[in-house]
Chain A
Amino acid sequence: MNFAVLQFPGSNCDQDLVHVMKNVLGHSASLVWHKDNSLAGFDAVLVPGGFSYGDYLRTGAIARFSPIMQAVQQFATNGGPVLGVCNGFQILCEAGLLPGALIRNRSLQFRCENVFLKTATNDSPFTSKIPSDKLMRVPIAHGEGCYFADEPTLEKLKANKQILWQYVTDKGEATEQSNPNGSLLNIAGICNEARNVAGLMPHPERASESVLGCVDGKLVFESLIAWMEGKSVAKAA
């Protein structure tokens, strides 16, 4: 598979995603500059973490106007898988590809720590290979990761099973204590209605190698790869 990792000015987890897709998972991945306007030849798009445009104005608010984002819109409309991590999630929300918004952590402080995630549904390209009882341990690192949406949106997310991951305790319970940023419904990640666009605040690419202490994050990418491979088999048949 061939992954596009977008590079905005201020992206700083771009290299980490390339590293995991290439060196850990053995696929090809390359950086795509934000001023480019084509995603031809790519099978999936990864929107990395960082501080695109310094997070000025509002996280992700300026990046959505970069030329490449039009191509991302088109790519997503055509059913291509798009995954945003951290600032990437914020950008996808700003761009309207995902509902809701990410606002300041309730603590008003940046938080970098490992958290436990529960996968709420296997019905998405990003969760298909995650065992349903698996608690994933994945780090977060953000100042604005509190997921917020109005009541009808939340209802819709629930009804359509668009909530993919929630912050939970080591026992798997979504409590206030397990919630590092005040996200509504302990939401750590969601997908769109068509299920091909997803975003999450935690960094699966930082939990994909045993030398870094945990490989749970790899499950997200392995799900995506398996889903894409399944699709190309279907296409060939």
Chain B
Amino acid sequence: MSEPAITPELVKKHNLTTEEYAKVLEILGREPSYTELGIFSVMWSEHCSYKNTRPLLKTFPTKSPKILVGAGEENAGIIDVGDGIAIAFKIESHNHPSAVEPFQGAATGVGGIVRDIFTMGARPVCAINSLRFGELENPDVRRLFSGVVSGIAHYGNCFGIPTIAGEVYFDKSYEGNPLVNAFCMGVLRHEQIARGAAKGIGNPVFYVGPATGRDGLAGAAFASQDLTDESAQQQRGAVQVGDPFMEKLVCEACLELLATDAVAGIQDMGAAGLTCSTCETAARAGTGIEIELDKVPQRAPNMTSYEIMLSESQERMLIIVKAGREDEVKRIFDKWDLPWAQIGHVTDTGRMVVRMGGKIVVDVPAKKLADEAPVYHRESKEPEYLKAVRAFTLDGIADTAIPVDHLKALLSTPTIASKNWVYRQYDHMVRDGSVVLPGSDAAVIRIKADSLPLLSEELKSKVTEFTGEKFIAMTVDCNGGYVYLDPYEGGKTAVAEAARNLACSGAAPLGTTDNLNFGNPHNPELFYQLKESVRGLAEACRAFNAPVTGGNVSLYNQNPNGPIDPTPTVAMVGIIEKKEYITTQWFKDEGDVIILLGDVADKNDQLLGLGGSVYLQKIHGKKTGSPPRCDLEKEKTLHSTLLGLIYSGVVKSAHDCSEGGLAVALTESCISQNIARETPRLIGAQIDLSESKDVRLDALLFGETQSRIVISVKPMDAVKVLERAKLMGVPAAKIGTVGGSDLKVKTVAGEFSAPLTQLHDLWWNAIHRAMQ
């Protein structure tokens, strides 16, 4: 079959600029073949190369003594958690595919991140996700929302991984461009870390997993351009189709194979498929790689080299096997009834050479292709809209006169309401490790011996068997509205909230993985959002000693109506040193004393925490105002004080104040414990805020001032806790008592109360109602 001639139009169609194409010509010393053009196009897309963000990503803190595999080194970062055990984790986006085909787009997003984890030699043990959609009044948003959730459920449930936490926000800016960020964590021993490197000249290269089809052609390039109606229509074919059953088999077979020590290197075929996996493994090892496409299992007839190299068919792996050990691959993959093929070998040429039909169709220097993508320092300019945001005051905003009605309205807002409609579709308990289920500030998972991959015979004799348990907490957070209104503060707050959620569960941070979801980087105002929020994220990750171990960048998130709210999603993982420290957000026993750690409102903030709040958006229809400030020193002291109290055994519940402020946090502590189907455990509270005389009522109840945590303690411990907090320099006050079947709140403006059954119904069923 003759290949198209390389014309400027064809180059442009591949999203390569004139300068980029000139660089291709320079690297090759000749005109590329059609397949090579496709290869450069995908490898130099933002999705694979981070060409627009690399200078920013370098500013993240990425080191700590616990980091065993750092950011950018491999498919996922790895952190030591003690006793020879480590965790591998990463978050990745599948936004554009989910916009086009929500079910498969989201499903394959889960598949891709799970593969990244077992590629590292780790056994995937849990998943979490972060989702953004438009408002549920729009039927098309409902279609996307339910499609994405069932896609995640389909893949995760069948694979057998518990999806144990997540967050969902609904905002008009995400209409037509939903965000689907999927996170996976795996567990392994230090000695079991596998590398994606094509080591050992002459070693055979194996392809394992299902055959290659035309699906997902050039998905990485698709993800790196603005999403328009037209592109979505055209690109439907760029969305891959996932098969979680196949992935389960491939995972088990790969872990079994890794335990034989026959593997020299392993890499999944994710974005840019066979292209990315071959050139990256060679680049990492400083070797070359040669493959024959005629040997690649193919699902469709007459596939061209271009199609085979760029296909993103799912659940495929590239394995570099130690020469002489080929039979072990065959034995194990035959056992699991999986296709395999020996397609090439490692060379010493430093080149990635691809043959088809006896001819060389690709011959490029692997390292230059993988590592020397152009890097751009994009122009940034402060967006015009920020002037109005900063100028906003509360002058024209009447204080609340009907606080109980406003509380009910906030509890029924989908962003604040319970997400049980979502997580009850996910198997969140498989693998017998889910200690804190979805619905508290952070999920907690137990690691035990069978969380680990199989040990090789050699390792079995070398290491002491792990018989204990470890408890890992994780959370994912980002208030995109805050980031829109103040990219720097919003970035800091995303990290601070994640760290606060971990602290509330009794965990100290280990590390962070971030997913930067932004608009078109060529727009200086949008690039400003990216740059400033990265500055905030980096500063906060440093402050909380939660270095970034990897992540993902998704740009060009916009729909015909404009860009999304900038959304740098932060997934943070922490360790809970002892089982006794595990803490949940709901009140436990009648008579317990409720204490607020932190200020009632930030008096240095002229909006008192109402800027960007859900209250201001939902009740007053205004998405503006500078969002709450985030003082990192204050926040750190708060977390260490809370953890100290938890370690001393006095904290019975801890819940942070976030969207909806103190009133929503208190209500959630009363109603969020779920015993079983249709069986919540409701426990009331009498709250007295009448001491706070100089704060507007709406700011007091619904303001979103940062650095605040509601805890409950036994009456006999209350004085001790207040003193301890004061000693640490954390404002603390007794604000009420647990008990009864209502939430009663006394303020200078009077008292209001509501039965918990009603509050629970509004909060628990809001999304069900919106979806009916």
Contacts and interface: CB of A to CB of B under 8 A. Distances in A.
A222 interface: no
B425 A111 contact: yes
B434 interface: yes
Interface string A10-21: 101101101110
Interface stretch (A47-55, A158-166, A189-197): A47-55
Interface string B420-447: 0001111111111011000000000010
- Please indicate which of the listed interface residues B158, B425, B677 has the most CB atoms of chain A within 10 Å of its own CB: B677
Interface residues of A, number: 41
Nearest to A143: B157
Interface string B53-72: 00000000000000000000
Nearest to B582: A211
B425 A110 contact: yes
A108 to B, nearest CB: 10
B678 to A, nearest CB: 6
Nearest to A203: B429
12 contacts: A10-B158, A20-B432, A50-B160, A54-B246, A112-B429, A113-B677, A116-B679, A137-B676, A206-B429, A206-B432, A211-B435, A212-B429
Nearest to A14: B160
B448 A10 contact: no
Given A12-B159, A19-B450, A113 B244 contact: no
Contact of B157 (A20, A110, A116, A212): A110
A123 interface: no
Interface in B122-155: 150, 153
B398 interface: no
Interface string A29-60: 00000000000000000000111011110000
B647 interface: no
Nearest 6 A/B pairs, CB to CB: A12-B160, A54-B245, A114-B676, A141-B427, A51-B158, A16-B432
B245 A10 contact: yes
A54 B432 contact: no
Instruction: Specify the main secondary structure of chain A where it touches its partner.
Output: mixed
B677 A114 contact: yes
A139 B429 contact: yes
A112 B677 contact: no
B431 A16 contact: yes
B434 A212 contact: yes
Contacts of A209: 432
Interface of B: 150, 153, 157-160, 243-246, 248-249, 336-337, 423-432, 434-435, 446, 448, 450, 469, 579, 674-679
Contacts of A139: 429
Contacts of A177: 678
Given A55-B245, A211-B579, 8 more contacts: A9-B336, A9-B337, A10-B249, A13-B430, A18-B450, A170-B679, A211-B469, A212-B434
Interface in A1-28: 9-10, 12-13, 15-16, 18-20, 23
B429 A141 contact: yes
A206 B249 CA distance: 23
Contacts of B448: 19, 23
A109 interface: yes
Given A55-B158, A141-B157, A211-B446, A12 B679 contact: no
A91 interface: no
Contacts of A121: none
Given A15-B450, A205-B432, A211-B435, A113 B424 contact: yes
Specify which of B158, B245, B428, B429 lies most central, judged by the most chain A CB atoms within 10 Å of its CB: B429
Nearest to B146: A109
Interface string A94-124: 0000000000000001111111100000000
A199 interface: no
Interface string A132-155: 000001010101000000000000
A180 interface: yes
Most central of A170, A177, A211 by chain B CB within 10 Å: A211
A104 to B, nearest CB: 13
A12 B677 contact: no
A115 B674 CA distance: 11
A178 interface: yes
B676 A170 contact: yes
Contacts of B676: 113-116, 137, 170
A110 B245 contact: no
A169 B678 contact: yes
